[in-house]
Amino acid sequence: MGNKLDISVVVPLYNEEESLPELVQWIDRVARTNELTYEIILIDDGSTDGSWSVVERLKEEYSAIKGVSFLRNYGKSAALYEGFKLAEGEVVFTMDADLQDSPDEIPQMRRMILEEGYDLVSGWKKKRYDPIGKRWPSKFFNFTARVVSGIKLHDFNCGLKAYRRKVVKSIEVYGEMHRYIPILARHAGFKRIGEKVVEHRERKYGVSKFGIERMLKGYLDLISVSFMSHFGRSPMYLFGGLGTLMFLFGGVTTVWIIAKKLIAQANGLLWRGVTDQPLFYLALLAIVLGVQLFLAGFLAELINRRSSDRNNYHIDKTI
C-alpha cells in the first residue's frame, strides 16, 4: 500500500473461525462510514481449527487484509509483536477476535490520539460480561499493576487499545508482556497514556482461552517489567546497592560483637564467646550474601555493557 493509511487493526486470533468474517465486515463498515483508509492484520497463533482457511478466504474479499500464520501457538504477545512490525497506519489498534471488543470505538479512540495528543489509549471494560471467576482475579490483577507501575488505568488487560504508530515501533512485546504494554510504552518515553470506557460484549462464538496459569504468568511478568523499567540499564544499582548494605551490616555487627567481648574481658566482666552468639553467624551470612549480590550486580553490568541495544534510545525529533 503506497498511500499513507489512517489506521491499522492488529487482531491476534486462536481458533476463532466463526467470528472472523463478522469481525472483518464490522471493521470494514466502521472504516468506510468514517472515510478511513485501513488495513486489518490477522495473526493466526497456531489455530487448530479452520481459522487460517477463513483468513485466506477473507483476503480474497478484502484487499486491506494482511495475514500471518504461526506454525504453533506462541501466545498473544508474539502475535502482537509480528502485527506491530507489519502495521503501517498512522494510528494502530489492537482488538481480540472473539467479537467482545467493539470496532465502533475506533473513531473516538483515534480522535483521542490525533486531537487530544495521547500516545496510547487503553479501553476500559467498565461493564463486563465475563464470568465472576474471570472478573475478580482481573480486578485484583489490575489493582496490583496500578500500585506497582503508578499508571492509573482500570483495565491493563483490555485487548482494545489505540497507539500512535511510533509507540508500537519503539517497544518489544514478548512472553506475556501484552498486559503491560502501557508500562513498556511509558518506559520508552511515551507518557501520554489515556483511557476510554468501551463497550464489552458477550462472547458469541467459541470458548474463553482464560486460565489460572495466565494469572500466574502475569504476576511474574509484572515483576520482570518493573525490574527492567527501573534497573534494566543499570542492574548494579540494585544488586550492588543491596550487596553493599548487607556487607556493611554484617561487617559492623561482627566488629561490634568482637569489640564487646574484648572490652568485657579487659574489665573482668562476664563475657560470651564470639562463636557462641547466634548474631555472629547472622552477621557472617549477611557478609557472604552481600558479596554475592555485589558480584551478581557486577556480572550483570558486564553483560549489559556488551548488549547490542544498550545505547538503543528512542529519538522523538531531530533537526
pLDDT tens-digit map of 75-113: 898 999 999 999 999 999 999 999 999 999 999 999 999
Residue 319 has pLDDT above 50, yes or no: no
* Residue 160 confidence class, pLDDT cut points 50, 70, 90: very high
pTM given for the model: 0.72
Residues 160-180 have a mean pLDDT of 88
For the ranges 135-139, 161-165, 274-278, the lowest mean pLDDT is seen at 135-139
**In the chain, domain spans:** 5-231, 236-305
Predicted pLDDT of residue 309: 56
For position 241, what pLDDT does the model report?
Answer: 87
How much of the chain exceeds pLDDT 70, in percent? 83
pLDDT tier at 244 (50, 70, 90 boundaries)?
very high
Task: Specify the CATH number of the domain 5-231.
Answer: 3.90.550.10
In a 13 Å sphere around the CA of 53, the CA atoms on its Cβ side amount to 5
- Residues 203-227, buried b or exposed e (16+ Cβ, 10 A)? eeebeeeeeeebbeebbebbebbbe
Instruction: Band the pLDDT of 306: cuts 50, 70, 90.
Output: low
Looking at the DSSP bridge assignments, the partners of residue 58 are none
Among the listed ranges 52-56, 121-125, 196-200, 215-219, which one has the minimum average pLDDT value?
215-219
The widest CA-to-CA distance across the chain, in whole angstroms, is: 98
Q: Which of 99, 155, 89 is nearest to 122 (CA)?
A: 155
